[in-house]
Structure 1
Amino acid sequence: MSSKDLSKQIIMLVGGESNVNSVFHCATRLRFKLKDHGKADKAALEKTPGVITVVENSGQFQVVIGNNVSQVFEQIMKETSLQDAEKNGKADDASESTGVLGKAVDIISSIFSPILGALAGAGVLKGLLALILSLKWISAASGTYLILNAASDSVFYFLPVFLAVTAARKFKANQFVSVAIAGALIYPAVIAAVGSTESLDFLGIPIVLVNYSSSVIPIILAVWVQSYIEKWFRSMIHESVRNILVPMFALLIVIPLTFLAFGPVGSLISEGLASGYTWLYNLSPLVAGAIAGAFWQVFVIFGVHWGFVPIMLSNIATLGYDTMLPILAAAVLSQAGAVFGVFLKSKNTQLKALSGSSTLAAVFGITEPTIYGVTLKLKKPFIYACISGAVGGAIIAVGGARAIAFSLPGLLALPTYFGTGFAWAAIGITVAFVLAVILVYVLGFDDPEAAVEETATQPVVKQGMTQIGKEQIASPLTGALLPLESLPDEAFASGAMGKGIVIEPSSGLLTSPVNGTVTTVFPTGHAIGITSEGGAELLIHVGVNTVKLKGKHFQKKVQEGDKVEQGQLLLEFDADAIRAAGFVTATPVIVTNSADYLDVLKNTGTEVTNGELLLTLIH
């Protein structure tokens, strides 16, 4: 199913655009805030091709798509007005109460998920640069290093600016005012003053200057307060000067408050989180590594993993490193190993295909398709992965591995672990992957039986063709079979009209391919639309540009609304006369609602006779 079709299907099944307060996406899933969860058809969504699963958590209706989630999200933005609704502040919170923890997770995920890609990419680049520098391939004094260091470090240095944008979207504050507040925190003169011994004050109040580059919590607190200040002033100031005075008062109030209160308090919280985590970690690295490696993917399932992101970033900002990220890589690679074990062990062709693609995604840090599509559904592989993650995480923690920059845990993140404990990180990740493969392959799991597929060369289709899980379409013509792409008509050849096949007719007798209803008969007789009893919407278009014949050489035998049976004559045409007139007679048989089906299987032969099996639609 194309991204466009999938986006339409998703919006319809979540209850329509009118039922959506807001939507955004992370690395693998669409995160909806719905007005009424009861209007969403969760079961139908989970069966939709292209959707891995659906998770309801923290007040969010999460549709797990996988790696192409951004394309689906872009289509939703094009096809709906939801983006404008969010910008205009109309995307209200979900109607149901989600509790303190749920609201906290929702806030953190909304703020951090949009920038994870930039953080992860810059983190990997930062790790690679450190590796290259240690190997003395370039000099720290060179212009090459200067530019590459700027490319890898800018996201982290200006992190308050990035967070200002996402926090403003979440708290419905003026984004440009929020960026101005973040800019003030890392203003060059302010950064220079941090290292100065001279004491400063604001209207007599002493200022505790802190280096806010790479900081997390101060700007989030500032933007949260900004949203309330703007709301209050908007209600008080006349609309004729509102656009000028509200930003002015917000800057005038929030920036001093941030330097005097939010900044120091936020920095203390960040330092407290980093110190608290370090204290717990130092109590027993082995236990900490085993617990994190075993339960990280459980946290991901429940969505509470977002709560650890500020801690990781705080660790890197205050300590210069983080010990949690390498441990989590073991949890991720154990899932990759488990799904690879499924790929090796399973005899189900569909499961093998899904497991193969999920293995590649998991190796690079994207585990949602693996978890929801394979390991969690099969249960035992998920448990084996948790055990393997615990073993790998314990090895990494005992070895004291560290991450010098934030990145998504996975194979690509290895350069960020370069330095202290790097060898232990590599060993732990390898053990987690290999052990998971062995456990799944040796101990096994309940391998689901593959659906029995009927070959497309089965001879003649009888009446009453609809079967459980599939619908069969008979050939309306006798002739040679050609691929859809061979048709000299872009609309059909590109598949834009739907999936199907082309018949080069050897006779001019066109019969009904199904039991159903004639929905369309073109006045010129060159094309007929039929809806089958099973719901398949078919278009049979005789030739290319034959509409120009204005009905010449065509004889209609049915009218719109007629009930027809498979094999009933619908149309007669003079193929030789049409060709003599200079027109192509290759006839596409199109399933115009292909998006409603998992797949459209075609007859694999070179010739077909009237009534022989042409297409099999898999529900």
Structure 2
Amino acid sequence: MSKYKEPAKDLLKHIGGSNNISVVTHCATRMRFVLNDPEKADIDKIEEIQLVKGTFTQGGQFQVIIGNEVSSFYNDFIKMAGVSDTSKEEAKVAAKQNMNVLQRMISHLADIFTPLIPALVVGGLILGFRNVIGDIKLLEGGTKTLVEVSQFWSGVHAFLWLIGEAIFHFLPVGITWAVARKMGASQILGIVLGITLVSPQLLNAYGVAGATEIPFWDFGFAKIEMIGYQAQVIPAILAGLVFSFLELKLRKVVPNAISMIVVPFLSLVPTVLLAHIVLGPIGWQIGSWVSDIVYSGLTSAFGWLFAAVFGFVYAPLVITGLHHMTNAIDLQLMSELGGTNLWPMIALSNIAQGSAVLAMIFINRKDEEEKQVSIPAAISCYLGVTEPAMFGINLKYGFPFLAAMIGSLVAAVISVGSNVMANSIGVGGIPGILSIQPKYMTVFALAMVVAIVIPFVLTIIFAKTNTGKISFKKSRSIKA
């Protein structure tokens, strides 16, 4: 008999039975349910199941944290429940019935940027490594870099830029592809659209100010400047949305006999034209405003206050799903400033949550059953995956979550107060230091120590003094 039979039976019973399940799927650590009646799910009973590490509702989906065993558990569960295997995309579509307008907007934004994150993480690590070997003077009495004294490392430095350039300069290609994929338009045409924004024949937008002459397309009655939108986020999003809208509308009105010819042409060509005449300039301006506002806020006299608020509330934002909006801001800051001072605070918040769990491991060191949940949760949190730690431990007890928020606040103030910048989005935990620009690595390491020590100490103090023992039962089931 499978070891998952009894837990699966209990979960099915307490979630309201098969008739209450509209859609079920799973990700790396969680079962994801779209329920016909969310009120029928008995959260307290579900969380008493030994295999379950926590529950929460996000994006219209009721999610049950299982851990690394979720794939095997899922297979047994769907057999017992009598429901069919369902894709994540089908689950997302079904979940929208439980989402309001703001939640749908955030969900769309997340669907655009989530597929890009692996590339951005790799790119951040590569840029960080290039900076270490190319900018930090480690050799010959602190006068030369590795690149300056070694032909091998000089070659590595030059070679890695091939990947870094592909990820960041040509980012609009990934964005237009992701938008087309999300909207259900032709993905290959989305890629083509992105390439028309970053083509080598276009003048790099960042070189316009220093250019003696800007090339242009001459149509006789009008001229269009040949300016690219390398590394730009908003122009690519706008172009992708317009293209997808045109294609989807044309599919409905153009006869099938000629749609293969007419639809791609009438959707792609006008979009490319609009992108270079209207969408690009407008998107560039909007992006500049966003990055200027955020950067000005973080570097102003009240930057410490912004950092304190962001550091304190970021973890609760993860519960609601609003944290997905930071991806677009990070990418815009990277394109405008060559780095982001927002992302380091996110990495510090994740570290703080892991440190609170570490304290709970110490407190419950004699509880073998608790350690089976908390040790993997702490490890994954330090590597940037926070859900098992937050929902399986910290929100369950309440006071570790509060301790982590306070530690994140202090660490964020140190980071912003020292003007710490990351090359890009990276691994959102301890390895995130590799994405930090070299001259800020030392102070970021200090902020990391703070994000480890304060939550650890506060969690132990709260546990001993019975302080901060707040019930988060309701907050975990808030629909987000």
Per the normalisation by structure 2, the TM-score is: 0.80
Q: Deviations over 1:499-557 (max 9, x none)?
A: xxxxxxxxxxxxxxxxxxxxxxxxxxxxxxxxxxxxxxxxxxxxxxxxxxxxxxxxxxx
* Contact 1:402 1:419 survives alignment (8 Å): no
Q: Could you give the per-residue CA deviations for residues 242-273 of structure 1, whole angstroms, max 9, x where no partner exists?
A: 22321121112211111112222222221111
**In the TM superposition, what are the counterparts of 1:2-401 in structure 2 within 5 Å?**
19-20=22-23, 25=27, 29=30, 34=34, 36-38=36-38, 41=41, 43=43, 46=47, 51-66=52-67, 82-83=86-87, 92=93, 94=95, 96=97, 98-134=99-135, 135=138, 136-139=145-148, 142-191=154-203, 195=208, 197-201=213-217, 203=219, 204-207=221-224, 209-283=226-300, 284-346=302-364, 347-401=366-420
SS in 2 for 1:405: coil
CA offsets 1:572-602 (integer angstroms, 9 cap, x no match): xxxxxxxxxxxxxxxxxxxxxxxxxxxxxxx
Equivalent in the alignment of 2:476: none
Per-residue deviation, 1:217: 1.8
What are the superposed Cα offsets for residues 292-339 of structure 1, whole Å, 9 maximum, x if unpaired? 221111111111001111001100111101111122222121111111
**CA apart distance, 1:18:** 8.5
What is the aligned counterpart of 1:413 among 432, 437, 450?
A: 432
Tell me if the contact between 1:171 and 1:223 (Cα under 8 Å) persists in the aligned partners.
no
**CA offsets 1:31-89 (integer angstroms, 9 cap, x no match):** 66x48354985647656665533332343444445567789899999x96644986xxx
**C-alpha spacing 1:323/1:84, structure 2 compared with 1 (3 Å):** closer
Partner amino acid, structure 2, of 1:137: L
Distance 1:192 1:366 in 2: 36
Aligned-partner Cα distance in 2 for 1:176–1:76: 37
Partner deviation per Cα, 1:471-495 (whole Å, 9 max, x = no partner): xxxxxxxxxxxxxxxxxxxxxxxxx
In structure 2, distance between residues paired with 1:188 and 1:5:
60
Say which structure is richer in strand. 1
Q: Size of the alignment, in residue pairs?
A: 440
The 8 Å contact of residues 35 and 62 in structure 2, kept in 1 or not, is answered as no
Closer, same or farther: CA 261–243 of 1 in aligned 2, 3 Å: same
| Alpha-carbon distance in 2 for matches of 1:326, 1:218 | 25
Given the superposition, is the C-alpha separation of residues 85 and 170 from structure 1 closer, same or farther in structure 2, using an over 3 Å criterion? closer
Using the aligned pairs only, state the percent identity: 25
Deviations 1:66-123 (A, max 9, x none): 567789899999x96644986xxx9746453633321221111111122222321331
Secondary structure in 1 matching 2:415: helix
Larger relative helix fraction = 2
Distance 1:114 1:198, change over 3 A: closer
For residues 232 and 98 of structure 1, the distance between their equivalents in structure 2, rounded to whole angstroms, comes to 25
Q: Distance in 1 between matches of 2:195 and 2:373?
A: 46
Deviation (angstroms), 1:405: 1.7
Report the residue type matching 2:36 in the other structure.
Answer: D
Match of 2:457 among 431, 438, 449: 438
RMSD over aligned Cα, in angstroms? 3.7
SS of structure 1 residue aligned to 2:146: coil
Distance change >3 Å, CA 93–CA 286, structure 1 → 2? same
Task: Tell whether the 8 Å contact from 1:330 to 1:392 is kept in structure 2 after alignment.
Answer: yes
- Change in Cα spacing, 1:427 to 1:70, as seen in structure 2 (3 Å) is farther
Q: Quickly say closer, same or farther: Cα 1:277–1:8, change in 2 above 3 A.
A: farther
SS of 1:315's equivalent in the other structure is helix
The Cα of 1:358 is off from its aligned counterpart by 1.5
Aligned to 1:516: none
Q: Return closer, same or farther for 1:334/1:98 CA change in 2, 3 Å cut-off.
A: same
Q: In the superposition, relative to structure 1, how do residues 364 and 67 fare at CA in structure 2: closer, same or farther (>3 Å)?
A: farther
Cα pair 2:25 2:88 within 8 Å, conserved:
no
Alignment of 1:545-584 (within 5 A): none
Mark the CA change 1:371 to 1:244 in structure 2 (over 3 Å): closer, same or farther: same
Distance 2:10 2:226 in 1: 52
- How far the C-alpha of 1:163 sits from its partner, in A, is 2.1
Match of 1:409, SS state, is: coil
Question: Matches of residues 532-611 of structure 1 in structure 2 within 5 Å?
Answer: none
Does the CA contact (< 8 Å) of 1:343 and 1:355 recur in 2? yes
Q: Is the 8 A contact 2:96 2:104 kept in 1?
A: no
Task: Give 1 or 2 for the bigger CA radius of gyration.
Answer: 1
Cα 1:67–1:131 change in 2 (3 A) is farther
Alpha-carbon distance in 2 for matches of 1:74, 1:114? 25
- With the length of structure 1 as denominator, give the TM-score of the two structures: 0.63
Report the Cα offset of residue 200 of structure 1: 2.1
SS of the residue corresponding to residue 207 of structure 1 reads strand
Question: What's the offset of the Cα at 1:384?
Answer: 1.0
Distance in 2, Cα, partners of 1:280 & 1:297: 20
Query: Secondary structure at 2:147's aligned position in 1?
Result: coil
AA in 2 matched with 1:138: V
CA 1:31–1:304: 2 relative to 1, 3 Å: farther
> What is the one-letter code of the residue matched to 2:133?
I
Tell me how far apart the structure 2 counterparts of residues 74 and 225 of structure 1 sit (CA, whole Å).
40
Letter in 2 for 1:384: A
Q: What is the rounded CA distance, in whole Å, between the counterparts of 1:117 and 1:5 in structure 2? A: 36
Distance in 2, matches of 1:327 and 1:3, equals 39
Which structure 1 residue ranges, 5 or more long, are not aligned? 448-619
Aligned residues of 2:308 and 2:412 also touching (Cα < 8 A): yes
Whole-angstrom distance in 2 between the partners of 1:245 and 1:11: 50
Question: Relative contact order: is structure 1 or structure 2 higher (C-alpha 8 Å, sep ≥ 6)?
Answer: 2
Alignment of 1:369-518 (within 5 A): 369-444=388-463
What one-letter code is carried by the residue in structure 1 that aligns with 2:279? F
Q: Helix, strand or coil for the counterpart of 2:390?
A: helix
